[in-house]
Structure 1
Amino acid sequence: MKPATLLAGIVSLAEASILHHREADVQLFPANGAQDVNPDTHLVLTFSLAPTVGKAGNITVTDVSDQKVVDTLDLSIPFSPSPYGNGSTKANYTDETVYQTNIIGGMNFYFFPIIVRDNVATIYLHNNRLEYNKTYSVTIGSSVLSVNGEGFDSFSSDSSWTFSTKSQGPAAGSTEVVVAGDGSADFNTVQGAIDWAPINSNSKTTIHVKNGNYEELVFFQYKTNLIIRGEDRIKTKVGYPNNSAFNPPNRQGPSRRPAFSFRGVSDIQLSNFAIENYYRGQAEALLTDGLRVVVDNMWLNGSGDALTTYGTIYIKGTTLYGDGDTVLGYASAFWENSSIITTAGPLSWTRTNQGIHGNVLLNCTLIGLQGNSTFARLPDNTGGVLDNWPYAEMVLLNANTEGVAPEGWGPVQGWPWDSSHVHFWEYNTRTLEGESVDYAKRLNISRQLTSPPDEAIIKQYSDPSFVLGGWSPVVY
């Protein structure tokens, strides 16, 4: 062996020894040298001590075959105008600052390139940058993460972390795929599976989501005949820290503040998992905008406007938590055997347009945790546009309630305006113990239905197809 070759070998062994030593206190996912990795994977580092995210340095992913850089995360770029979600909720269109931006479902969102939970640092690459049948190397600048005050430099410019993706994705024509955060199934992320699902499909596609905590922003558009089904409505959780301060409004386009949202869809079903928004403020867990949407056996936890609805939606066996105006309802929505719980303030702000029905709740539970909530409000919000939603409709049939103020409804403000078309109706409202509530102090704009005089109305509003414009929902 030539001396130069021998020396190179010794140097190579020394570098490998140093790399192994540096890796001793960190566990990698995907593992260094891993095969058959899903292209939607996050990069996860688990330390023996909690790491700290730096304010500079790059994370770079390179295609080994041609040394082309396929993704770069620059930690010197600020995450958001309000990275902690506690700043202004108004859009500042004069702000020319570049923020960390990811294209999710075809729309741009500000996002965290790294999130640390306890001893685990999860690196979020930009969506759809990795491909099947590729080998990638990852380098991490020494200022990106620190542990116990020291920069983490195991994968700096002179060394890398490598893995190879699967040769191909799900077979053409597949109608069912599985998501598992540990990489053992078709996809690692919910968004990755949704991106794969066909647009405007005539046949049903089902995404099964295994138990786990999927911390990711989810948004999609123009999907049809799609079912997203979790393994357990508590143990399968999709969540993200987001609100109207972290992701202020765009000049155009839909709201960017929910943890999970979609628009322009039809025949979508969400079943048996939890969605949580980890920030407070105007922060939906879920925003639905579509026709014939089913929300079945879900656990939703947001803040203000915790659930915002447009279109037509059927909600069954679902629990919703929020912080006031817990339902921001533009949709025709039929609720059955579900619960709405608010920490304070009204349970809903129902914004029904003329010609459609609003929120109708059959055999549901409504709870105000501070003891003085109301079912729905109509604040002074005219703006010369709709005269304070004069066709607002919320109908309660056989509701169980607790923590609701004696007036039941309101405040209703902005007088004078014609409120004759407002349907704030209730029938057979009871306490959680099953006792009839006292209607004596109910707001005069509301109406208490009785049987038999109002039997025809009660029968109509007990039928989902009447409320939902002729659609008779089916839960698959």
Structure 2
Amino acid sequence: MSPAAHAGPFLPDTGDTAAYSDTRLAITFDTAPSLGSTGKIKVFTTDGTLVDTIDVSDAVSKMSGETQTLFSARNTEIDKLGGNVPSLAQWRYVYYRPVVISGSTASIKLHDGALRPNTAYYVNIDDGVLNGKVAGASFRGVSGTNAWTFKTRATPGSPTSVTVDDDGPADFRTVQGALNWIMQNGCVTCAYAGAAKTITVKNGNYRELLFLRNVNNLTITGESRSGVIVFYDNSDSFNPGTGFGTAAAGDTLVSAGPNVGTRRYLGGGRNVLLAENADLLKLTNFTLWNAHRKTSGWDNQAETMYFNSSALGGSRLSALSMNFMSAQDTLLLKGWSWFYKSYISGDVDFIWGSPYAALFEQSELHTIVDGTNASSGGYIFQARAAYGYPGFVVLNSKLTADAAIPAGSTWLARSGGLAPPTYCTTKTTTGGLGSANLGCDNLAYINTRMGTHIRTAGWQATPAPTPATPTATAGWRERGSMDLSGNTLNVSGRNQNVSSTGIDLSGLDTRAEVFQAWNNGAGWVPTTP
């Protein structure tokens, strides 16, 4: 995150009386500093109450007994996202790197919600935490009650509409700070539950993991699609599991990767944005990026977003003019999702999940080079959709690829192998998704332009999909496929044993049709701006 302009080496400036309660601390050195191997950063209120501690040693990682050897155990803390939100009973627990050095600046992310509005603080830093020179003198830490002091500003004026900017005037410096404010005021049991809520994010780079829970009717809008980048390097090796909110951090040790030791399973998962129990969530005009680079020996699953909401009469997500970028497992979806004029990139199963209906309309699904297997074009979808519902629909969109992707190397989909009688046998009527209610390979491509990277056979037949024989409402289907120039595509080579190119899909070629089962037939028709 870019530090704002300031007079001295510290951010917030010492003596600042209008610091942000979600601010990063930052120190500007003469040249690039280095991070030490021991020591702590502490923040106190002016009466001497300790409110936060950052330990740059390996103590936090090692305290659980984990043995992973993939990455340094130093400079690792456990965050509790949403921790200062009174209405929450479950939070997102994740590992994170608190100290980041970029150029000559060392920035420090405190634990989420550690600072309160309208409160005075001072900072202490042990000698050896950071090494370098400030104004020509060797940095020996910060001590005492007066060397680095600041006071946070008052709360925002609006309970439901706020702005975020990493280096200019705004209500918050971080997206999570704004989400916490909205959850505090506009949760489903809060005073502004029924109000429309907005978060406007100004251009900037926002390095953070995000958590939203129990909020309806929220729109998050970026100033520009390429200028607002919300990102983090997260993965299954760093934060194991798909993630969900929990009442306490998990303490089970799980594999960090093949033959590389164990990692503590906290529960918050490997995605950048986790959204739970949300309805009418709209994301528009920014980039959400999981910056993890696939590496041999790692568990490389790394979603940008997990939409973990599955109510039959709620759980609606809209993404308009968005970029979602990762490699493996970019989007994990439940509920009802509409992606319009958006860009989604990845390499392996980069769109997956158990939605009732997820529509990709006038969007681009882009295959990138697999950093662990450059000759593979990977797989676009792995559907585990809800039984009796449309599942995934790609409409009037295009499939593209990096120039280095070999021709004929990408599968339209592969199955997760979730077969009856355990999976995909029973339609839920309550919104609960047990094993019998999900696991269906429901995916339809309608009027889709496809690049030469798509395999002639189209669909990977092993393991066999469920259902193995497609119908008008289930299975692997394709109709009206074109090349990228809009010419009719020859699909005679498709594997007709597991897919169909001839079934009438006119019942899925509009938003109204795809989402007609929402709320037990009431229907949902999302609209363009």
TM-score scaled by length of structure 1:
0.84
Aligned partners of 2:95 and 2:467: how far apart in 1? 41
Do structure 1's residue 36 and structure 2's residue 18 form an aligned pair?
yes
Label 1:390 to 1:55 Cα distance change in 2 as closer, same or farther (>3 A): closer
Deviation at 1:381, TM superposition (A): 5.4
Label 1:181 to 1:340 Cα distance change in 2 as closer, same or farther (>3 A): same
Label 1:157 to 1:122 Cα distance change in 2 as closer, same or farther (>3 A): same
Do structure 1's residue 465 and structure 2's residue 451 form an aligned pair?
no
Q: Could you tell me which amino acid in structure 1 is paired with residue 526 of structure 2? A: P
Do structure 1's residue 283 and structure 2's residue 270 form an aligned pair?
no
Unaligned 5+ residue runs, structure 2? 1-5, 83-90, 242-249, 253-264, 295-299, 310-314, 369-376, 425-434, 518-522
Do structure 1's residue 326 and structure 2's residue 350 form an aligned pair?
yes
Residue by residue over 1:368-427, the C-alpha shift from the partner in whole angstroms, topping out at 9 and shown as x without a partner, is 442310111115455973279773111111111111011111243158985455421112
Q: How does 1:99-118 map to 2 (within 5 A)?
A: 100-105=77-82, 106-118=91-103
Given candidates 479, 485, 492, the residue that maps to 1:433 is 485
Q: Which residue of 2 aligns with 1:217?
A: 209
Q: Could you tell me which amino acid in structure 2 is paired with residue 189 of structure 1? A: T
Given candidates 120, 128, 139, the residue that maps to 1:152 is 139
Q: Could you tell me which amino acid in structure 1 is paired with residue 223 of structure 2? A: E
Aligned partners of 1:25 and 1:38: how far apart in 2? 17
Secondary structure in 2 matching 1:192: helix
Given candidates 151, 158, 162, the residue that maps to 1:164 is 151
Residue by residue over 1:275-306, the C-alpha shift from the partner in whole angstroms, topping out at 9 and shown as x without a partner, is 11111310011221231111111111112101
Label 1:170 to 1:338 Cα distance change in 2 as closer, same or farther (>3 A): same
Aligned partners of 2:489 and 2:280: how far apart in 1? 38
Q: How does 1:245-260 map to 2 (within 5 A)?
A: 245-249=237-241, 256-260=269-273
Contact 1:240/1:278, CA 8 A, preserved across alignment: yes
Sequence identity, in percent?
28
Secondary structure in 2 matching 1:326: strand
Q: Which residue of 2 aligns with 1:227?
A: 219
Secondary structure in 1 matching 2:412: coil
Label 1:219 to 1:158 Cα distance change in 2 as closer, same or farther (>3 A): closer
Deviation at 1:241, TM superposition (A): 1.0
Do structure 1's residue 59 and structure 2's residue 41 form an aligned pair?
yes
Q: Which residue of 2 aligns with 1:350?
A: 383
Do structure 1's residue 443 and structure 2's residue 467 form an aligned pair?
no
Do structure 1's residue 133 and structure 2's residue 118 form an aligned pair?
yes
Deviates more, 1:349-358 or 1:374-383: 374-383
Q: Could you tell me which amino acid in structure 1 is paired with residue 329 of structure 2? A: D
Deviates more, 1:462-471 or 1:122-131: 462-471
Label 1:363 to 1:48 Cα distance change in 2 as closer, same or farther (>3 A): farther
Aligned partners of 2:268 and 2:494: how far apart in 1? 35
Q: Could you tell me which amino acid in structure 2 is paired with residue 438 of structure 1? A: N
Secondary structure in 1 matching 2:187: coil
Do structure 1's residue 405 and structure 2's residue 455 form an aligned pair?
yes
Secondary structure in 1 matching 2:379: coil
Q: Which residue of 2 aligns with 1:205?
A: 197
Aligned partners of 2:465 and 2:215: how far apart in 1? 42
Aligned length: 435
Label 1:156 to 1:109 Cα distance change in 2 as closer, same or farther (>3 A): same
Aligned partners of 2:466 and 2:526: how far apart in 1? 39
Do structure 1's residue 124 and structure 2's residue 100 form an aligned pair?
no
Aligned partners of 1:412 and 1:244: how far apart in 2? 25
Label 1:285 to 1:416 Cα distance change in 2 as closer, same or farther (>3 A): closer
TM-score scaled by length of structure 2:
0.76
Contact 1:80/1:246, CA 8 A, preserved across alignment: no
Aligned partners of 1:323 and 1:78: how far apart in 2? 35
Do structure 1's residue 302 and structure 2's residue 351 form an aligned pair?
no
Do structure 1's residue 273 and structure 2's residue 310 form an aligned pair?
no
Q: Which residue of 2 aligns with 1:94?
A: none
Deviation at 1:170, TM superposition (A): 1.6
Secondary structure in 2 matching 1:206: strand
Contact 1:78/1:100, CA 8 A, preserved across alignment: no
Aligned partners of 2:456 and 2:366: how far apart in 1? 17
Deviates more, 1:25-34 or 1:37-46: 25-34
Q: Could you tell me which amino acid in structure 2 is paired with residue 61 of structure 1? A: V
Q: Could you tell me which amino acid in structure 1 is paired with residue 508 of structure 2? A: Y
Q: Which residue of 2 aligns with 1:316?
A: 340
Q: Could you tell me which amino acid in structure 1 is paired with residue 457 of structure 2? A: E
Q: Which residue of 2 aligns with 1:73?
A: 54
Given candidates 163, 172, 179, the residue that maps to 1:187 is 172
Aligned partners of 1:174 and 1:292: how far apart in 2? 23
Contact 2:240/2:266, CA 8 A, preserved across alignment: no
Q: Could you tell me which amino acid in structure 2 is paired with residue 182 of structure 1? A: D
Deviates more, 1:109-118 or 1:399-408: 109-118
Label 1:25 to 1:142 Cα distance change in 2 as closer, same or farther (>3 A): farther
Aligned partners of 2:467 and 2:31: how far apart in 1? 61
Contact 2:40/2:129, CA 8 A, preserved across alignment: yes
Deviation at 1:143, TM superposition (A): 1.4
Deviation at 1:224, TM superposition (A): 0.9
Do structure 1's residue 262 and structure 2's residue 262 form an aligned pair?
no
Q: Could you tell me which amino acid in structure 1 is paired with residue 392 of structure 2? A: N
Secondary structure in 2 matching 1:35: strand
In our comparison, the structure showing a higher alpha carbon Rg is 1
Aligned partners of 2:397 and 2:175: how far apart in 1? 30
Q: How does 1:378-417 map to 2 (within 5 A)?
A: 378-380=415-417, 385-386=422-423, 391-402=440-451, 403-414=453-464
Contact 1:141/1:157, CA 8 A, preserved across alignment: no
Give the CA RMSD over aligned residues: 3.0
Q: Could you tell me which amino acid in structure 2 is paired with residue 100 of structure 1? A: E
Deviation at 1:123, TM superposition (A): 0.3
Contact 1:285/1:303, CA 8 A, preserved across alignment: no
Unaligned 5+ residue runs, structure 1? 1-23, 89-96
